Chains A and B, each alone.
Chain A
């Protein structure tokens, strides 16, 4: 039995933040679901927060370059959980033949950030829930739980508002702007796995080792590399993470391309 108080505390804080965002913004709120382990845990937290009757929408930003397992997982669980899922693509950029081979920065920006911009405009969302965590990346570690983005999606990381004692800066009413909410900012990678084990959540099998390789983090097939690992079960993944010195996103191209690439992508509105 997983230590209940420790995971309860992480879970409770996330649920509290989800409910706080919904209280303020109601159906203007959407949850980003990439089918990865973190955002799948977030989907579960959202279902828990609303006692199973979820009144908000979910967005999948489909670059069309994702692993085939991701699409199968999405279709299976969106149906099983009765999720109102909006799938968005930057069709114009795809029609022009954009791909990571030519310009990785531009590809990430167009197929993810621009696609998201179009969806926000089309559906009128004001608030996005994202499953980012502090321990993933130095730049994500600088985030607040509630973070404003202007109409250009810019993140003013040099002047973030004060939030403390569960009191957040909730705006998003600026013309064209939106609010990012990060209910899982305080979780660590290993916490996610312990929670998946305790709550018996499904995960894509790319996370488990085959031929001594597994994915620590998944996204577009072309820009993800597996890490050396023999962890072929949740228990083994947790044991591995207790001692691992390999970075979670070490297989993700956009994290190490060039110095400050993540910061530049994020300041333009990347997740």
Chain B
């Protein structure tokens, strides 16, 4: 059994995201009997008939307010490895919760209210997905039941969404006409859309799940997470980001720029002769002097030390030039400052206006970051986990970044 595909369900407020997930869980027999009883009861209390969104929106405030406040995940069973659906809020002010959920996903479903087509929230979510590098997208045009399952309305909305996706360079082949509440074209093809020749949502998800992004030939990268003393020897513990390692392999330690050799691979119980991603292990080095948390052990002789980084960032809180910020990438952390704001590549909400040297919440910008201590990073396209980072202020994440 391989790992289940993790899919975030995005879209404007009230487009039917939680309902889509709830209905999919219901139609694929992924729900417990008590869950169905419980939502039937809660739906009655709140005056609804059967509210599939309650299967995700478990908080009292969410049910009373009929909205998703925070992200959650639900497992959808099927005859293969299944899927994890990630529910996220649509409201702009809940961007951090939307980002949190999306960061775990490998693919996305974009839910669009076909009665409204392209809305601000739709655009915002597409831009967030693009920022995070999530390129596998299925578009679900929802609420077609209200529109009498009209082919013309579907085609018009599809044309508008496709034109927008094309304009920002996102290719997708899946546009599914649906009623999430009634389950049309979700777990199986619907008889109400005889004019639609494409797959149901679940078939489309299977097609996406078959695409494997990683080639498996990447180099070995291992950020040191901590150093434990075991029987008097330092053991460098951490998680292998990619590649594999064998005892006696020659390695580089960055950004210190040292060469070393693997003396032992330590796990609980016994030593191992080899290890590979994504295992969490311990390494003993032949020399190892000065190695500590934040350094990266790798097979990459070209992993250099950078003190200036060009990246695109997405702000979740306002940033002022005088703010004391920390740059955090894998286990590396360094005090940093934003030296230059090159350009706003896009803004999620509202137009770009002159706002001086700072950045506002929801701004996306290309920036030059100066770090006080050098760090070892890669481009996101080369090694994802060393090509993405966050900026923290007072321990809280204020921006997320991708190294381009």
A66 within 8 Å of B (CB atoms): no
Contact A142 B293 (CB under 8 A): no
Cα of A169 to Cα of B397 in the assembled complex, Å: 8
| Residue B163, interface by CB 8 Å | no
Asked if B3 and A9 sit within 8 Å, CB to CB, the answer is yes
- Bound complex: CA of A5 vs CA of B278, how far in Å? 8
Alpha-carbon distance between A207 and B35 when the two chains are bound, in angstroms:
22
CB distance from B241 to the nearest CB of A (A): 10
B390 contacts the other chain (Cβ, under 8 Å)? yes
Contacts of B103 in A (CB 8 A): 164-165
Q: Quick check: is A91 within 8 A (CB to CB) of the other chain? A: no
A109 at the interface (CB under 8 A from B): no
Q: Is the CB of A250 within 8 A of B34?
A: yes
B:80-103 near A, CB below 8 Å: 96-97, 99-100, 103
Interchain CB contact under 8 A, B60 and A260: yes
Q: From the candidates B33, B45, B280, name the one contacting A247 in the complex (CB within 8 A).
A: B33
Assess whether B279 is interfacial by the CB under 8 Å rule.
yes
Q: How far does the Cβ of B396 sit from chain A's closest Cβ, in whole Å?
A: 6
Is there a chain B Cβ closer than 8 Å to A152's Cβ? no
| Size of interface on A: residues with Cβ below 8 Å to B | 53
**Nearest A residue to B394, CB-CB:** A171
Residues of A within 8 A of B230 (CB): 51, 53
Contact among A141, A158, A170 for B73, CB-based, below 8 A: A141
Contact with B along A130-146 (1 / 0, CB 8 A): 00001101110110100
Contact bitstring A3-20, B, C-beta under 8 A = 1, else 0: 101101101110110011
| A23 (CB) vs chain B CBs: closest residue | B226
CB pair A259–B278 under 8 Å, yes or no, is no
The answer, yes or no, to whether A73 is at the interface (CB within 8 Å) is no
A134 and B72 in contact, given A6-B2, A16-B225, A163-B100 (Cβ under 8 angstroms): yes
- Interface membership of B69, Cβ < 8 A: yes
* Contact present for A250 and B32 (CB under 8 Å): yes
* A161 partner, pick from B96, B226, B389, beta carbons under 8 A: B96
* Residue pair B32, A246 in contact (C-beta under 8 Å): yes
Chain B binder among A42-50, A93-101, A113-121, A217-225: A42-50
User: In this complex, what residue of B is CB-closest to A262?
Assistant: B58
**Min CB distance, B352 to chain A, in Å?**
24
CB-contact partner of A263 in B59, B278, B280, under 8 A = B59
Report B21-80 residues with CB < 8 Å from chain A CB. 29, 31-35, 38, 41-42, 45, 55-56, 58-61, 69-75
Chain B binding surface, main DSSP class: mixed
A213 CB → nearest B CB, Å: 17
A170 contact from B58, B74, B389, B395, Cβ within 8 A:
B395
Q: Which of A33-61 contact B (CB under 8 A)?
A: 47-53
Name the residue of chain B whose CB is nearest to the CB of A259. Answer: B42
Once the chains are docked, how many angstroms separate the CA of A188 from the CA of B69? 23
Q: Which residue of A lies closest to B70 (CB)?
A: A142
Q: Which of chain A's residues has its CB closest to B132's CB?
A: A164
Among listed B154-162, B247-255, B266-274, interface-contacting one: B266-274
CA distance A23 to B400 in the complex (A): 23
In the complex, the answer to whether B268 meets A48 with C-beta atoms within 8 Å is: yes
Closest residue of chain B to A185, judged by CB? B73
Is A211 interfacial (CB-CB < 8 Å)?
A: no
- Which of chain A's residues have a CB closer than 8 A to the CB of B96? 161-162
Whether A164 pairs with B397 at a CB distance below 8 angstroms is yes
B100 and A164 contact, CB distance less than 8 A: yes
Interface status of A22 (Cβ within 8 A of chain B): yes
Find out whether the CB atom of A246 lies under 8 angstroms from the CB atom of B33: yes
Judge if B239 is at the interface, Cβ distance under 8 Å.
yes
Any A CB within 8 A of the CB of B392: yes
Q: Are A51 and B75 in contact (CB under 8 A)?
A: no
- Which residues of chain A are within 8 angstroms of B74 by Cβ–Cβ distance? 134-135, 141
Q: Which of B198-248 contact A (CB under 8 A)?
A: 225-226, 228, 230, 235, 237-239
Interface of chain A: mostly helix, strand, loop or mixed: loop
Q: How far is the CA of A261 from the CA of B156 in the complex (A)?
A: 46
- Give the contacts of A147-167 with B (CB-CB under 8 A): 157-158, 160-167
When C-beta atoms are compared, the residue in chain B nearest to A245 turns out to be B33
Q: Is A256 in contact with chain B by the CB < 8 A criterion?
A: yes
When C-beta atoms are compared, the residue in chain B nearest to A48 turns out to be B268
**Is the pair A141, B400 in contact by a Cβ cutoff of 8 Å?**
no
Cβ of B388 within 8 Å of any chain A Cβ, yes or no, is yes
Asked if B60 contacts A161 (CB within 8 A), the reply is no
* Chain B, 377-404, CB within 8 A of any chain A CB: 385, 388-390, 392, 395-397, 400
- Whether B1 pairs with A6 at a CB distance below 8 angstroms is yes
Residues on the A chain within 8 Å of B104, using CB: 164
In the complex, the answer to whether A12 meets B45 with C-beta atoms within 8 Å is no
| A134 surroundings in chain B (CB, below 8 A) | 72-74
Q: Which residues of B contact A47 (CB under 8 A)?
A: 268
Residues of B within 8 A of A161 (CB): 96, 396-397
Instruction: Identify which of A49, A169, A248 contacts B396 (C-beta below 8 A).
Output: A169
- Chain B residues within 8 Å of A135, by CB: 74-75
Least CB separation from A164: chain B residue: B103
| Min CB–CB distance A19 → chain B (angstroms) | 5
Residues of A within 8 A of B31 (CB): 245
Out of B55, B69, B73, B279, name the residue touching A8 (CB < 8 Å). Answer: B279
30 CB < 8 A contacts A-B: A3-B1, A5-B2, A19-B225, A19-B238, A19-B280, A22-B226, A51-B237, A51-B267, A51-B282, A134-B72, A138-B55, A138-B56, A138-B58, A141-B56, A141-B74, A142-B58, A144-B100, A157-B59, A158-B61, A158-B69, A161-B96, A161-B396, A164-B104, A165-B389, A186-B73, A245-B29, A250-B32, A256-B34, A256-B38, A259-B45
Among all A-B residue pairs, the 7 with the closest Cβ atoms: A138-B58, A164-B103, A247-B32, A15-B280, A162-B96, A48-B268, A247-B34
Question: What is B's interface to A at a CB cutoff of 8 Å?
Answer: 1-3, 29, 31-35, 38, 41-42, 45, 55-56, 58-61, 69-75, 96-97, 99-100, 103-104, 225-226, 228, 230, 235, 237-239, 266-269, 278-280, 282, 293, 316, 328, 330, 385, 388-390, 392, 395-397, 400
Given contacts A142-B58, A157-B59, A263-B60, 9 further A-B contacts (CB under 8 A): A9-B278, A12-B279, A19-B226, A51-B235, A134-B73, A139-B59, A160-B100, A165-B388, A260-B60
